[in-house]
Amino acid sequence: MLRLRIESQPARLGLEIGLPQVEIQRVRGVRVAESAPPLLDIEIDYPRVELDAEAAMAEIGLKRSLAVARDLAAAGQKAAYESIARWARQGDELAAIEKGVSVADLAEEIAWPGDRQQINVDVAPKSRVEVNATGSISITGVPGRWSLAFEPDAVDVMLRPGAVRAYLMQKAAITISVVGDRYSVLG
């Protein structure tokens, strides 16, 4: 009897695999901080005290030299007018002999003026010293400020894909062989 022997060899595929590569890089963001401190502006007009004692000093006889000169000039002018008036009056009295006024009477009136002088007690000065105080302070505040600006971090990802290469390691094969030495057509 004749037999057939069939031997098969499957095909074998080979794969070369290159792994993918991933590179990750972190890029740091930029951070900017700005600040301006608060400001305090202080303007001071220092205090000044002004005392005006001129009126009070004048009342006790301590005037400024120009004021003293004016007062003395006025007093001198008044005394001159009074003397002129007195001499004119005395001349008129001497001219009127019928009234009986003698030179001795006039000399006594000039030497002993009598009740014309008075003594008066008073408190001086009557005026107050004027006091003027000036000065100021001005405070102005400017608030500070703070600003923060930043760009967020960035991530760079670089991917190199893997490679797959397929190749035939072994071809497929079928071997058919006849086994035995007789062949029968009938079976």
Number of H helices, E strands in the chain: 3, 10
Co-location of 58 and 110 in the same domain: yes
Residue 74 in any domain: the answer is yes
Q: What is the pLDDT of residue 44?
A: 93
Co-location of 77 and 20 in the same domain: no
Higher-confidence residue of 79 and 102: namely 79
Co-location of 82 and 114 in the same domain: yes
* Residue of 4, 15, 18, 5 whose CA lies nearest to 161: 18
Q: What whole-number distance in Å separates Cα of residue 6 and Cα of residue 16?
A: 32
First to last CA, the chain: 9
Give the pLDDT band of residue 28 (cuts 50, 70, 90).
confident
Residue 47 in any domain: the answer is no
Assign 90 to helix, strand or coil: helix
Co-location of 59 and 109 in the same domain: yes
pLDDT tens digits for 108-166? 777 776 666 667 777 777 888 899 999 999 999 888 888 888 888 888 889 888 888 88
Which structural domain, as residue segments, surrounds residue 94? 54-128
Co-location of 60 and 106 in the same domain: yes
Q: What is the pLDDT of residue 73?
A: 94
- Please state the domain count of the chain: 2
Residue 142 in any domain: the answer is no
Co-location of 58 and 124 in the same domain: yes
Q: What is the pTM of this model?
A: 0.35
Assign 19 to helix, strand or coil: coil
pLDDT tens digits for 52-93? 988 888 888 788 888 888 888 999 999 999 989 988 988 888
